[in-house]
A and B are shown apart, each in its own frame.
Chain A
Amino acid sequence: MMSHEELEQTTAKVQQEQRAAGDRINVCVAAGCLSLHSDAVQKSLNEEAKKSGARCSVRGVGCMGLCSAGPVVSHEPAQAVAAEDKTTAQPTRLYGGVQPGHAAKIVASLNREPVRELAIDTTMPFFAKQTKIVLENSGSINPESIEEYIAVGGYRALLRALHEMTPAEVVQEISASGLRGRGGAGYPTGLKWATVARAAGATKYVICNADEGDPGACMDRSVRESDPHRVLEGMILAAYAVGASQGYISLRAEYPLAVQRLGVAIREAKRMGLLGAEIAGTRMSLNLEIRLGAGAFVCGEETALIASIEGRRGTPQPRPPYPAESGLWNSPTLINNVETYANVSPILARGSAWYAAQGTAKSKGTKVFALSGKARNTGLIEVPMGMTLREIIFDIGGGVPAGHTFKAVQTGGPSGGCIPESLLDIPVDYDSLMQAGSIMGSGGMIVMDDSSCMVSVARFFMEFCMSESCGKCIPCRAGTAQMHGLLTRITEGAATHRDLDLLVRLCEMVGATSLCGLGQTAPNPVLSTLRYFKNEYLAHIEDKHCPAGVCECAATPAEVNA
């Protein structure tokens, strides 16, 4: 049985150990830096630390955000580790592009000047302009240690809710926070929870949608790999609020690191009595299982995800009935995505008013984005809702590389759209992005400069939708293939105005008649590029010319004129 006292004891123990260990060298071992062999960096830092006898510990931690500078290593001086007030403490040093050969230098620098050639300026806007709630522990704790999560305040909200709040009060708190689903559609989370809590049925389920399949998106993956207990705590709280005793985390087998870390987290939480039967000595029980999918984008759609968990072919079903009434094995089912669950424990720990004070009138809190493409700083960022696209791209992202000009930013993945320069001052919230012809989506944000052809971009996303369509309904199955064919024809310089008209008609028809969100939103990248970059389409069609020089049109304008 886990109690508040035990949490405090664990915290004290971990903090004492950390203080005793002296300086802390943190190596990012999340997927991005791992792919740049940060594990080798960690190994040589360990060896060097042992060799030198310096009073320091080398730890693997989650994502620190600036993936473009990977492998990233941070150094927390002993004084900062021990400090109660982190703001006045000696600042953490951040190093980028660290290779195993740099290990000796970093270890030697512990009580001296930082290693200049590797140092990253931690005061630059990339860091200064972010507000971290979901990612607050990411990059500072060991994701495979439940003790470290507890030491930074973890599981307090759960215990408090279990002992002091009724399930209805938990739902009320989430409703009052104004949290909206972070999977993309932005449905009010509290309303969803209330619906499942009210639904009739002895058996209810909670599901974590961790499928995350948008091209260029890695927000949820990073949260799972960097702070898995945050997700578990949110799920347990949700299960308590709606009255579920069984939960599933559905994620792709392609994310082996996330699978492993969530597996460790579930085991550890069970060991500590925070998961399983009679959680923390209360009557609340929750069994959590991981279900692996085979990497199908459509399985991020909730009814297809349910089919996949049930062991059936992952195809969507018409809604209603909504999963909140009849979901997994026809029982009321709560489905939220990773980032939504990750917001739950901070809301309950700090109060709904604190959360609701951040963001805009209709979009509260923060949003995590995977900033990628033609920006100088790319990686994982978290900003308050309502920040403008311009601040995100030009301040945090540092703008486009020298010699190029900004053209568009793509948000929302294959369901989203491209936003041009003229709209960069709109605030990032669900409604403003929708008005601009895009969507918030799950958080992919791809910056494009003058070297991108917008027709090719539209074609890329259509190809994605075509191959990820489940094949069940005709408009999506055959319509995306036809639209892809027409877009290909345009990029080849072989299309006519009639083809463009047909493309527009198919966009409208597929959007209006498809069964699920995949097909309904598949035309968005085409419609938004047509809205803002129609001249590029016309250049391909009329002049057989690609303004960005990306497409190989059959004829150049010179040849046509001759």
Chain B
Amino acid sequence: MSAAPGAKTFVIDGVDASATPGQTILSAAREHNIFIPTLCHLEGLGDVGACRLCLVEVKGARRLLPACTTRVDEGMEITTNSPRLADDRQMTMQLLFAERNHVCSVCVANNHCEMQSMATTLGMTHVEVPYRFPALTVDASHERFTLDHNRCILCTRCVRVCSEIEGAHTWDVMGRGIQSKVITDLDQPWGTSETCTSCGKCVQVCPTGALFQKNRTGERRGKDPSFLPYLRTMREEL
């Protein structure tokens, strides 16, 4: 097999690998069946490098680099897992769990939650940092969907899918730092939004129970994963 023109060869976790020009470390790693944890990344949406779970060590780089936005360079030597990375990733998950009111047992997304399964995958057994227990609201004004700020991790997948795919840009983020929150329109109740098309893409891409469909219980309450591959297809056909 000959390499594609301009292909980049690199080493990832000690394995020789190749990537197409412009390909990100994350995408190349997944092609080589190497797992790099992510929460804000979603195939088909623009990457923002916000969750910091995909940070990897690149030899010669001064800092850890996000795999989702860093492009593979010729000769790169990448380490996707190390005691230090594992430690940082666990702490990131702990910070998330302590930030808002993530109580899995009473969450609509229990057992269907990317955050929950990521914590398990990364071996998080307990939360050392103090829980913050902020008083947050729930917006159930939309006739089909609900927004629960208590479960939101600010990955901005909803913001991106609404803006980049649906083209409505109903969602955005307001506030700073720990006070940040996702909003619909100019912080209007979701049900009164004039831009929302009620397409539900935001609900399907939400990794947690922050956005969910009303009146669904039991096994039907999970997200519809069959929906997700279309994002990529839609994007490619643009």
Residue among B50, B92, B96, B178 making CB contact with A515, cutoff 8 Å: B50
User: Among B127-135, B194-202, B208-216, which stretch is in contact with chain A?
Assistant: B127-135
Complex CA–CA separation, A545 to B51 (angstroms)? 39
Considering only CB atoms, which chain A residue lies closest to B155 in the complex? A474
Q: Which of A296, A472, A485 is most buried by chain B, counting CB atoms within 10 A of its CB?
A: A472
**In the complex, which residues 55-113 of chain B have their Cβ closer than 8 Å to any Cβ of chain A?**
55, 63-64, 66, 69-71, 87-88, 91-92, 95-96, 98-99
A233 within 8 A of partner (CB): no
Residue among B49, B64, B71, B180 making CB contact with A512, cutoff 8 Å: B64
How large, as a class, is the contact surface on chain A? 20 to 34
Complex CA–CA separation, A134 to B174 (angstroms)? 39
Q: Report chain B residues within 8 Å CB of A466.
A: 177-178
Asked if A471 and B95 sit within 8 Å, CB to CB, the answer is no
Residue among A472, A474, A486, A514 making CB contact with B96, cutoff 8 Å: A474
Q: Report chain A residues within 8 Å CB of B172.
A: 313
Considering only CB atoms, which chain A residue lies closest to B95 in the complex? A478
Asked if B129 and A472 sit within 8 Å, CB to CB, the answer is no
A505 within 8 A of partner (CB): yes
Residue among A470, A485, A505, A514 making CB contact with B52, cutoff 8 Å: A514
Considering only CB atoms, which chain B residue lies closest to A498 in the complex? B128
Task: State the Cβ distance, A341 to closest chain B Cβ, in Å.
Answer: 27
B179 within 8 A of partner (CB): yes
Considering only CB atoms, which chain A residue lies closest to B39 in the complex? A474
Complex CA–CA separation, A470 to B69 (angstroms)? 19
B176 within 8 A of partner (CB): yes
Asked if A506 and B129 sit within 8 Å, CB to CB, the answer is yes
Task: State the Cβ distance, B51 to closest chain A Cβ, in Å.
Answer: 6
Task: State the Cβ distance, A489 to closest chain B Cβ, in Å.
Answer: 8
Q: Given that A474-B92, A505-B91, A513-B55 are contacting pairs, would A482 and B98 also be in contact in the complex, using a CB cutoff of 8 Å? A: yes
Asked if A502 and B52 sit within 8 Å, CB to CB, the answer is no
Residue among B50, B55, B71, B132 making CB contact with A481, cutoff 8 Å: B132
Task: State the Cβ distance, A327 to closest chain B Cβ, in Å.
Answer: 16
Q: Report chain A residues within 8 Å CB of B55.
A: 513
Considering only CB atoms, which chain A residue lies closest to B97 in the complex? A478
Q: Report chain B residues within 8 Å CB of A470.
A: 176-177, 180
Asked if B70 and A467 sit within 8 Å, CB to CB, the answer is no
Asked if A469 and B176 sit within 8 Å, CB to CB, the answer is yes
How large, as a class, is the contact surface on chain B? 20 to 34
A311 within 8 A of partner (CB): no
Asked if A318 and B88 sit within 8 Å, CB to CB, the answer is no
Q: Report chain A residues within 8 Å CB of B52.
A: 473-475, 513-515
Q: Which of B66, B129, B172 is most buried by chain A, counting CB atoms within 10 A of its CB?
A: B129
Residue among A468, A474, A512 making CB contact with B50, cutoff 8 Å: A474
B5 within 8 A of partner (CB): no
Interface string of B116-130 (1 = CB under 8 A from A): 000000000000111
Task: State the Cβ distance, A185 to closest chain B Cβ, in Å.
Answer: 12
**In the complex, which residues 449-488 of chain A have their Cβ closer than 8 Å to any Cβ of chain B?**
466-482, 485-486
Q: Report chain A residues within 8 Å CB of B177.
A: 466-471, 476-477, 480-481
A509 within 8 A of partner (CB): yes
B48 within 8 A of partner (CB): yes
Residue among A475, A486, A512 making CB contact with B95, cutoff 8 Å: A475
Q: Given that A471-B176, A502-B129 are contacting pairs, would A478 and B88 also be in contact in the complex, using a CB cutoff of 8 Å? A: no
Complex CA–CA separation, A475 to B177 (angstroms)? 10
Considering only CB atoms, which chain A residue lies closest to B156 in the complex? A472
Interface string of B153-178 (1 = CB under 8 A from A): 11000000000000000001101111
**In the complex, which residues 315-355 of chain A have their Cβ closer than 8 Å to any Cβ of chain B?**
317-318, 320
Complex CA–CA separation, A185 to B70 (angstroms)? 22
Asked if B176 and A482 sit within 8 Å, CB to CB, the answer is no
Complex CA–CA separation, A515 to B50 (angstroms)? 7
Complex CA–CA separation, A502 to B91 (angstroms)? 10
Q: Report chain B residues within 8 Å CB of A506.
A: 91, 129
Asked if B88 and A512 sit within 8 Å, CB to CB, the answer is yes
Complex CA–CA separation, A477 to B50 (angstroms)? 10
Q: Report chain A residues within 8 Å CB of B95.
A: 474-475, 478-479, 482
Asked if A482 and B49 sit within 8 Å, CB to CB, the answer is no
Residue among A468, A471, A502 making CB contact with B180, cutoff 8 Å: A471
Complex CA–CA separation, A478 to B176 (angstroms)? 11
Asked if A482 and B88 sit within 8 Å, CB to CB, the answer is no
Complex CA–CA separation, A515 to B154 (angstroms)? 15
Q: Given that A468-B177, A513-B64 are contacting pairs, would A475 and B92 also be in contact in the complex, using a CB cutoff of 8 Å? A: yes
Asked if B91 and A318 sit within 8 Å, CB to CB, the answer is no
Q: Given that A474-B96, A482-B129, A482-B130 are contacting pairs, would A317 and B178 also be in contact in the complex, using a CB cutoff of 8 Å? A: no
Asked if A477 and B128 sit within 8 Å, CB to CB, the answer is no
Complex CA–CA separation, A112 to B71 (angstroms)? 73
Task: State the Cβ distance, A520 to closest chain B Cβ, in Å.
Answer: 8
Q: Report chain B residues within 8 Å CB of A469.
A: 176-178
Complex CA–CA separation, A476 to B176 (angstroms)? 11
Q: Report chain A residues within 8 Å CB of B175.
A: 471
Complex CA–CA separation, A474 to B52 (angstroms)? 7
**In the complex, which residues 508-533 of chain A have their Cβ closer than 8 Å to any Cβ of chain B?**
509, 512-515, 520
Q: A466-B178, A472-B154, A520-B63 are in contact. List 8 more A-B contacts (CB 8 A).
A: A317-B48, A471-B154, A471-B180, A472-B50, A481-B99, A481-B132, A485-B132, A513-B92
| 26 residue pairs bridging A and B, Cβ less than 8 Å apart | A313-B172, A317-B48, A318-B66, A466-B177, A467-B176, A469-B176, A470-B180, A471-B175, A471-B179, A472-B50, A472-B154, A474-B95, A474-B96, A475-B52, A475-B92, A476-B177, A477-B99, A478-B99, A481-B99, A486-B130, A502-B128, A506-B129, A509-B91, A512-B63, A512-B64, A515-B49
Sorted nearest first, the 9 A-B pairs with minimum C-beta distance are A471-B180, A469-B177, A478-B95, A318-B49, A481-B178, A318-B69, A478-B99, A513-B52, A509-B91
